Each structure stands twice: as structure tokens, then as C-alpha cells.
Amino acid sequence: MYWISFRSPADDFVGVVITKGTSPGKAASKTIDRLELHSDKATIVMIPLEREAEFEQYQDSLLDYETSKGLLEKLGVQALLS
């Protein structure tokens, strides 16, 4: 399971998608096509297997800034989202 943060060509935050795939790149490409995202920049982080169950309810949906920030805090990750 991957956490994929998408940015627009103008480098604006588009959203986060949590999804599964055979590789990080394939997961991002599949998500861009399926959700018709206007993004050519993605940051991809693997969610540890033991934590996947906590994030399944968010799988394959485009998450906004506030939801993404809350999930990062739940993971115990401090990151800047803009």
C-alpha cells in the first residue's frame, strides 16, 4: 500500500491517494488515469504492512489537505503540506 501525494504542474497541492499496486510507479500511474488527475509530480511512500488496515477505509479516494494532515499525524509523521 502506498501513500501518494500529488502536485499540479504549477506545483500546487492536488491531494493524496492511498492505493495498492505492484510497484510505486504503477500505483501512481493507475491513480492518475483512474481519477483523471492533472498532475505530473508525485511523492510516494510505502505504508508499512502492519499499518495497512488503519488506512484501507481511505483507499483509492482523493484526500484533501486536512484529511491528509490528520492521517500523517496518525502515522506519527511530521511533514509540511502546502
Whether 79 shows a pLDDT value over 80: the answer reads no
pLDDT tens digits, one per residue of 31-66? 999 999 988 899 999 998 998 999 999 999 999 999
The pTM of this model reads 0.86
49 three-state secondary structure: helix
Domain residue limits, the chain: 2-75
User: Alpha carbon of 1 to those of 12, 38, 82: distances in Å?
Assistant: 24, 22, 23
